[in-house]
Chain A
């Protein structure tokens, strides 16, 4: 009797470990960003359709969203109405990082669908996207008034994520 106790105990422990592992296994399509809680990576990029440049440093003191998008990205199109909605409420400005896109196509997209962005820095070479750990569009970062990355949403923004993750942080509840 006693000689089965140890193997049975080890087996039970293993089952428990694997069970907890499966329960806690992160959703593989969403990879936690190591930038959360850290200062937002600085960048300066040309503004879409303009000779000027934009540095995100200039957003200092204000909360803002950094939305990574491209006209080649189907999910971005699905997300667009949500962005327009957020922009119309005026709670937080949206900076639209145009990632590895054709400037003409990007401008045409905005003319047709509407422009939710306060400014559109164009990252044609994808270097800024790497600094921000972007691995797929759309991605949306929330940056606070001290320039700290507070949250990152991967995939198209939806009302549930907006109300449960973004708004509480902006309003200082979370």
Chain B
């Protein structure tokens, strides 16, 4: 039996390939009608922790609870809640642990400020060392000149 390579097989194959690609990248195929909402949905679900798997976001996790939380986020978005309200809504139930990005508060202040403080400290020390060395080099240069003058 001869196999006819018909153009529609190519189309079908590429379609199938396309389908498998999308399923590999999005666990949640549901799209919101409004593109702006869809974008907020995408970014919110990526910054909320899947409490069952902990190191995945709810956008990336296939477990049931992550699906329920995505539904919750979607419904809150459709109800017109702001991103801040949605984060508050979920952290009131699951604690700040559900937020991958810690919020600013007196408890987390050190977390946000320490890098800046360390950078300032490092710069201060570096500048001091460079100045000291520069002073030493100047001194050595003066000594050399004196030696050559003799």
Residues of chain A having any CB pair with chain B under 8 Å: 28, 31-35, 41, 100, 125-127, 129-133, 135-136
Contact = CB atoms under 8 A, between A and B. Distances in A.
A15 B95 CA distance: 29
B65 A35 contact: no
A100 B91 CA distance: 22
Minimum-distance CB pairs A-B, first 7: A135-B51, A133-B93, A126-B68, A34-B95, A133-B94, A31-B97, A130-B72
A72 B94 CA distance: 22
A30 to B, nearest CB: 11
Given A28-B54, A129-B65, A135-B52, 15 more contacts: A31-B97, A33-B95, A34-B91, A34-B92, A34-B95, A35-B93, A41-B93, A125-B68, A126-B65, A127-B68, A130-B72, A130-B93, A131-B93, A133-B94, A136-B52
A31 B95 contact: yes
A71 to B, nearest CB: 14
Interface residues of B, number: 14
Nearest to B67: A126
Contacts of A28: 54
28 contacts: A28-B54, A31-B51, A31-B97, A32-B95, A33-B95, A34-B91, A34-B92, A34-B93, A34-B94, A34-B95, A35-B93, A100-B64, A100-B68, A125-B68, A126-B64, A126-B68, A127-B68, A129-B65, A130-B69, A130-B72, A132-B93, A133-B93, A135-B51, A135-B65, A135-B94, A136-B51, A136-B52, A136-B65
Contacts, number: 40
B51 A129 contact: no
Interface in B11-36: none
Nearest to B65: A135
B123 to A, nearest CB: 15
A133 B95 CA distance: 8
Contacts of A136: 51-52, 65
Contacts of A132: 93
Nearest to A126: B68
A17 B51 CA distance: 27
Interface string B40-60: 000000000001101000000
Contacts of B69: 130
A124 to B, nearest CB: 11
B68 A130 contact: yes
Nearest to A134: B65
A33 B64 CA distance: 20
A135 B94 CA distance: 8
A129 B66 CA distance: 12
A58 to B, nearest CB: 22
Nearest to A29: B54
A34 B54 CA distance: 17
Contacts of B68: 100, 125-127, 129-130
